[in-house]
């Protein structure tokens, strides 16, 4: 198959860090700790860990192997798997196209907090209306999105090796260092209430890792399982063509089987450490009722926690938001790279021209989404029962609706039409255990289609009460 021209990763480490950069994103920070706290602490952790190396491996291996074997991006790759399944490539390409409209907006929110904590505005962030005020201010929310997007475009424009790989090699170790440092600090926290009760970080740690066996009834267990699967699925950046594109940049002598395990370890370690960083801190300063998910956790609850830490909070807070900005940046880069690479392949254009063309669309698009909290404010009822703004709508279509649907179709394609060997051959190219192939075959043929079907039905609101 013809070699692609978009670029290649120079080493296995470069590839692993870039792919881990895509996987580690805001989901690890604002969703994983919330789910762990809600879904029985250690019970959720055990289930999640088992799923990572069975279910997660299957999804990630499929995408990466498709990329390396075909040397194409999603638009072209599925056609090579089966000419009649070209539509799946198109569907897969739609996901990053949608995500890109809003990811820089989230990145811009994080940048706003980095700026606030690195100047002397930090104290204001702890006020409950700081965040709503900021996102409903059209000029500043648009400006921060533009800065974040410009940064992303710049790195993608620099190319695979000197842009993405180089950036990941600097940013990812730093990110890991900051998460470990804050997690360790979180464990040392202690506070006594006015009534004399003392709450410590270590108690928070027990809350996080102790399995809550009361949740071991069939109904709760099923919910925990679904939560863990949807989190894992989102966290690994699969079924949106990103890992196909990154896979296509990997040289043939790289051991995919090992790389996949390393990417999963990195992503899971950051998720576990995020829990270690956030749960004890929330437990000590707010009590577990203060545990939230999504933007309200990192933009409202955590700034209040940082304010309660006193002087040291002024050090922890900027470190936390810089770390979150790194996580969002490397994810955003992977989304934009996937779009650029697909267009380069489709239109035979240069990286520079493609970046300019794509930017001409996404700068205005990001501004429109950012203004969804001010000038273009609308309340949109979503089929899963929630009400959201433009950003939530985009997120819902791409992550809740399209991704499980794509994973469902691609597991049918691989498991029942092309055959699992087609993929297994590629990820075992430089050696792997026989058991690996068996687990993969079982997962892709039987487990993945069923799970994806359930997640999809859940997204369209079939299980709403």
Q: Which residues bind ligand PHE (CB under 6 A)?
A: 22-23, 25-28, 99, 234-235, 237, 331, 334-335
Q: How many CB atoms lie within 10 A of CB 324?
A: 29
Q: How far is the CB of 410 from ligand PHE (least distance, A)?
A: 17
Between CA 24 and CA 32, with CA 27 as vertex, the angle to 5 degrees is 105
> Which pair of tokens denotes residue 64?
């990466």
Comparing CB distances to ligand PHE, the nearer of 234 and 405 is 234
CA distance 317 to 302: 9
Q: How far is the CB of 31 from ligand PHE (least distance, A)?
A: 7
DSSP E strand boundaries for 253-363: none
Comparing CB distances to ligand PHE, the nearer of 99 and 432 is 99
Residue of this chain nearest to ligand PHE (CB atom) = 25
CA distance 245 to 342: 8
Comparing CB distances to ligand PHE, the nearer of 428 and 451 is 451
Q: How far is the CB of 343 from ligand PHE (least distance, A)?
A: 17
For the CA atoms of the chain, what is the radius of gyration? 22
> Which pair of tokens denotes residue 9?
């990763």
DSSP 400: I
Q: Is 199 helix (H, G, I), strand (E, B) or coil?
A: strand
- The β-bridge partners of 388 are 380
Q: How far is the CB of 22 from ligand PHE (least distance, A)?
A: 5
Q: How far is the CB of 233 from ligand PHE (least distance, A)?
A: 9
Q: How far is the CB of 132 from ligand PHE (least distance, A)?
A: 23
Comparing CB distances to ligand PHE, the nearer of 271 and 441 is 271
Comparing CB distances to ligand PHE, the nearer of 101 and 186 is 101
Nearest 10 degrees: Cα torsion 151, 153, 155, 159: 180
Q: How far is the CB of 308 from ligand PHE (least distance, A)?
A: 27
DSSP 227: H
Sequence-separated (6 or more) residues with CB below 8 Å from residue 399? 99, 234
Q: How many CB atoms lie within 10 A of CB 344?
A: 21
CA distance 211 to 209: 6
CA distance 228 to 178: 25
Task: Give the rounded distance of the alpha carbon of 84 from its chain centre.
Answer: 30
């Amino acid at each position: 198959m013809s070699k692609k021209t978009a670029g290649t990763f120079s080493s296995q480490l470069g590839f692993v860090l870039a792919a881990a950069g895509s996987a580690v994103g805001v989901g690890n920070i604002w969703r994983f700790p919330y789910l762990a706290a809600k879904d029985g602490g250690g019970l959720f952790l055990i289930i999640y860990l088992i799923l990572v190396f069975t279910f997660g491996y299957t999804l990630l291996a499929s995408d990466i192997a498709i990329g390396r074997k075909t040397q194409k991006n999603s638009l072209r790759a599925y056609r090579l798997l089966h000419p009649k399944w070209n539509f799946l490539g198109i569907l897969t390409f739609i996901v990053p196209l949608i995500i890109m409209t809003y990811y820089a907006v989230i990145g811009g929110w994080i940048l706003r907090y980095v700026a606030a904590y690195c100047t002397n505005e930090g104290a204001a962030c702890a006020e409950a209306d700081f965040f709503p005020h900021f996102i409903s201010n059209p000029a500043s929310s648009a400006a921060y999105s533009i800065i974040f997007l410009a940064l992303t475009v710049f790195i993608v424009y620099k190319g695979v090796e000197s842009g993405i790989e180089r950036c990941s090699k600097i940013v990812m170790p730093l990110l890991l260092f900051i998460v470990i440092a804050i997690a360790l600090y979180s464990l040392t926290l202690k506070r006594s209430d006015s009534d004399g009760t003392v709450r410590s970080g270590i108690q928070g740690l027990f809350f996080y890792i102790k399995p809550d066996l009361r949740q071991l009834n069939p109904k709760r267990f099923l919910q925990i399982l679904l939560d863990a699967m949807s989190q894992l699925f989102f966290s690994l950046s699969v079924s949106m063509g990103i890992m196909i594109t990154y896979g296509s940049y990997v040289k043939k002598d790289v051991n995919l089987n090992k790389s996949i395990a390393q990417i999963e370890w990195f992503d899971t370690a950051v998720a576990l450490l995020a829990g270690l960083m956030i749960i004890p801190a929330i437990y000590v300063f707010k009590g577990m009722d203060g545990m939230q998910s999504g933007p309200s956790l990192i933009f409202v609850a955590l700034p209040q926690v940082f304010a309660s830490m006193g002087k040291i909070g002024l050090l922890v807070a900027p470190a936390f938001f810089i770390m979150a900005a790194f996580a969002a940046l490397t994810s955003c880069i992977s989304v934009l790279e996937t779009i650029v690479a697909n267009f380069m392949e489709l239109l035979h254009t240069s990286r520079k021209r493609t970046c300019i063309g794509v930017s001409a669309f996404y700068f205005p698009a990001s501004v429109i989404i950012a203004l969804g909290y001010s000038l273009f404010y609308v309340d949109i009822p979503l089929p899963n029962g929630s009400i959201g703004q433009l950003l939530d709508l985009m997120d819902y279509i791409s992550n809740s609706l399209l991704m499980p649907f794509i994973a469902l179709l691609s597991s049918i394609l691989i498991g029942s039409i092309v055959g699992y060997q087609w993929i297994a051959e590629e990820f075992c190219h430089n050696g792997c255990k026989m058991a690996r192939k068996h687990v993969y075959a079982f997962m892709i043929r039987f487990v993945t289609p069923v799970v994806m079907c359930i997640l999809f039905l859940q997204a369209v609101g079939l299980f709403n009460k």
